[in-house]
């Protein structure tokens, strides 16, 4: 039974990434009978546990925001409470203007409350330009504006190019001059609407956060890898009677004349009272085309960025690395890698796996960059080693390397994204017993994906509270600190 007392009957969830699994988990709590269809031969989507040189590591997402509750709560519910682990270090660097420089503190996605907060990272001219924010006339945001465009107008391009861009790039692998401020950094969008001076708006955000005395780690990992989360949720779903079918792509989704849905896979035809489509936008477009061409057209327009992660394992003996969890690289500095995570520094559990092995990872590939991802694995390892040598002096030969490619890994949130999502939801709402969730709607971070899954279940259950909560709660899709 749902919260409203309505029976949900048999619900088919399409896609066993973290969104689909979270939906299945919640549906079972509402008394539904659940079948999850997954095209691949494993569950988890962008969450992928792996190993290198005998050390367990994450080969996809590696950290989750803990300042909103969904991901850590789901981990606890799936029995991973004891394994939750904050990063071992909160310091990170930025490789810019020829040196590794400490990542400034006291900013909101790279936007400072004062120019002084960015000293050391920006040039003197860049810092002086920030001061002009206080005297500039208002900069209109309209219904939405690109983060880079707005911040550059207020504080100058250097803040965007050296700080906002690599920080946003770490989340979206996108372009700060295209990414929606309203969707990606809603706190800044709100500040821009209510303040003429952006730095003043940021100081107010910081004062509010201080007054709320938010304590505890901003991010959390899981000993053994974030990749354990979907496995544990899947286990819990199965243990409570849910069915998860891997190697079973949904190929067609049609409404039944008498109500309910018919889902066709390669070999089977399933009948369901309701369906949750929890697959990336291109696959969702394909499934929805027959019954909702409007939603399909909107979903087809969602663009994705591809990237690759290069994981390198070194013998610890004699290895010297800078302190901290790693560094980000602004594109303006013209390097090839866009970030490096010193995984053995960042996560105590990785350091403990084998004290003689140190694990690092780098990432390459931003939205629209195709050349770099066309290179073979050996080449990606070589460019990573070259950039690591220049940034940190690390010259040792790795014991093992692993390249993990994430083609179309991250949906892009350009200006107007919120309006596109509203149109998709409008089309979907016309079809009873259908809901959508996943990274392309309300934020790409793991907690945001889980929240979208819960909202999808609440929509089916006829309980709008979840949807309202989601809208009231600014979408925070940040992740990873200095990681990729
Ligand atoms: C390299 C990388 C690093 C990241 N790092 C972080 C991080 O550190 N922290 C963080 O919070 N976020 C991170 N993210 C973002 C986050 O991991 C993803 O946004 C999130 O996991 C997406 O979950 P999802 O369930 O929406 O989609 P997915 O994980 O893409 O899952 C969708 C599933 O649907 C399946 N599917 C597709 N078509 C069909 C079909 N027709 N029938 C059945 N199944 C189908 C797919 O096989 C897949 O398993 C990262 C993303 C990437 C790519």
Give DSSP secondary structure letters for 253-276: EEE-TTSSEEEEESS-EEEESEEE
Q: Say how many Å lie between the first and final Cα of the chain, rounded.
A: 41
Q: Could you tell me which of 364, 354, 355, 420 has the C-alpha nearest to residue 387?
A: 364
Please tell me the residue having the least CA distance from ligand 1 atom 13: 61
Of all atoms in ligand 1, which is nearest to the CA of residue 42?
49
Q: Which residues have CB under 8 Å from 135's CB, separation 6+? A: none
CA dist list (Å): 437 to 19, 180, 186, 282, 464? 7, 20, 20, 13, 15
Q: In what order do the strands lie in the sheet with 250-255?
A: 250-255, 261-265, 269-272
Our mutation pick for probing the ligand 1 site, out of 35, 36, 58, 61, counting the most ligand atoms within 8 A of Cβ, is: 61
Taking the C-alpha atoms of residue 170 and residue 484, their distance in angstroms, rounded to an integer, is: 5
Structure pTM?
A: 0.94
- Show the tokens assigned to 338: 């866009």
The one-digit pLDDT tens for each residue of the chain (484 residues) are 555 556 789 999 999 999 999 999 999 999 999 999 999 999 999 999 999 999 999 999 999 999 899 999 999 999 999 999 999 998 999 999 999 999 998 899 999 999 999 998 999 999 999 999 999 999 999 999 999 999 999 999 999 999 999 999 888 888 999 999 999 999 999 999 999 999 999 999 999 888 877 778 889 999 999 999 999 999 999 999 999 999 999 999 999 999 999 999 988 999 999 999 999 999 999 999 999 999 999 999 999 999 999 999 999 998 999 999 999 999 999 999 999 999 999 999 999 999 999 999 999 998 888 889 999 999 999 999 999 999 999 999 999 999 999 999 999 999 999 999 999 999 999 999 999 999 999 999 999 999 999 999 999 998 555 444 443 333 333 333 333 4
Calculate how far, in angstroms, residue 141's C-alpha sits from the geometric centre of ligand 1.
Answer: 31
DSSP-derived pairing of the beta strands 326-328 and 219-222: unpaired
Alpha helix locations (H) across 54-197?
Answer: 70-77, 124-131, 147-155, 157-159, 165-172, 181-184, 186-194
Output the CA 406–ligand 1 centroid distance in Å. 10
Q: What is the dihedral of CA 415, 418, 424, 428, to 10 degrees?
A: 170
Torsion angle of C-alpha atoms 244, 245, 248, 254, degrees rounded to 10: -60
| Rounded distance from Cα 13 to ligand 1 centre (Å) | 15
Q: Which two tokens stand for residue 166?
A: 């690599």
């Amino acid at each position: 039974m749902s919260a409203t007392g309505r029976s949900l009957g048999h619900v088919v969830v399409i896609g066993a990434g973290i969104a689909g699994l979270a939906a299945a988990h919640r549906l079972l709590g509402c008394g539904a009978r659940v079948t999850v269809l997954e095209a691949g031969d494993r569950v988890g989507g962008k969450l992928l546990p792996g190993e290198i040189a005998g050390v367990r590591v994450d080969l996809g997402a590696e950290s989750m925001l803990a300042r909103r509750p969904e991901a850590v709560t789901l981990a606890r519910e799936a029995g991973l409470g004891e394994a939750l682990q904050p990063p071992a270090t909160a310091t990170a660097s930025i490789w810019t203007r020829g040196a590794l420089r400490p990542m400034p503190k006291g900013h909101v996605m790279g936007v400072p409350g004062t120019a002084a907060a960015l000293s050391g990272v920006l040039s003197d001219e860049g810092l002086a330009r920030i001061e002009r924010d206080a005297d500039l006339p208002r900069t209109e945001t309209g219904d939405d504006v690109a983060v880079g465009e707005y911040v550059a107008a207020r504080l100058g391009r250097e803040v965007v190019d050296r700080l906002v861009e690599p920080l946003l790039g770490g989340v979206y692998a996108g372009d700060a001059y295209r990414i929606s401020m309203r969707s990606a950094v809603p706190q800044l969008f709100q500040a821009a609407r209510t303040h003429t001076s952006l730095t003043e708006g940021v100081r107010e955000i910081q004062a509010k956060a201080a007054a709320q005395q938010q304590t505890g780690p901003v991010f959390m990992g899981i000993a053994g890898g974030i990749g354990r989360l979907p496995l544990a949720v899947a286990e819990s779903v199965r243990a409570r009677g849910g069915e998860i079918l891997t190697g079973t792509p949904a190929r067609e989704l049609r409404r039944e004349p008498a109500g309910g849905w018919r889902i066709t896979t390669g070999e089977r035809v399933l009948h369901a009272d309701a369906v949750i489509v929890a697959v990336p936008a291109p696959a969702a477009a394909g499934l929805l085309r027959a019954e909702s061409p409007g939603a399909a057209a909107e979903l087809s327009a969602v663009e994705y960025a591809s990237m690759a992660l290069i994981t390198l394992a070194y013998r610890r003996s004699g290895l010297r690395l800078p302190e901290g969890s790693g560094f980000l690289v602004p594109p303006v500095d013209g390097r090839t890698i866009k970030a490096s995570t010193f995984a053995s520094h960042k996560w105590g559990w990785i350091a403990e796996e084998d004290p003689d092995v140190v694990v690092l990872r780098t990432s390459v590939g931003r939205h629209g960059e195709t050349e770099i991802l066309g290179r073979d694995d050996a080449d990606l390892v070589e460019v990573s080693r070259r950039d690591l040598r220049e940034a940190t002096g690390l010259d040792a030969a790795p014991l093992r390397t692993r390249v993990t490619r994430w083609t179309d890994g991250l949906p892009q949130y350009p200006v107007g994204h919120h309006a596109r999502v509203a149109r998709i939801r409008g089309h979907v709402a016309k079809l009873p017993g259908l809901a959508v969730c996943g990274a392309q709607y309300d934020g790409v971070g793991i907690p945001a994906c889980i929240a979208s899954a819960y909202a999808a279940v609440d929509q089916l259950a006829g309980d709008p509270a979840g949807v309202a909560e989601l809208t009231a709660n600014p979408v925070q899709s940040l992740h990873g600190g200095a990681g990729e």
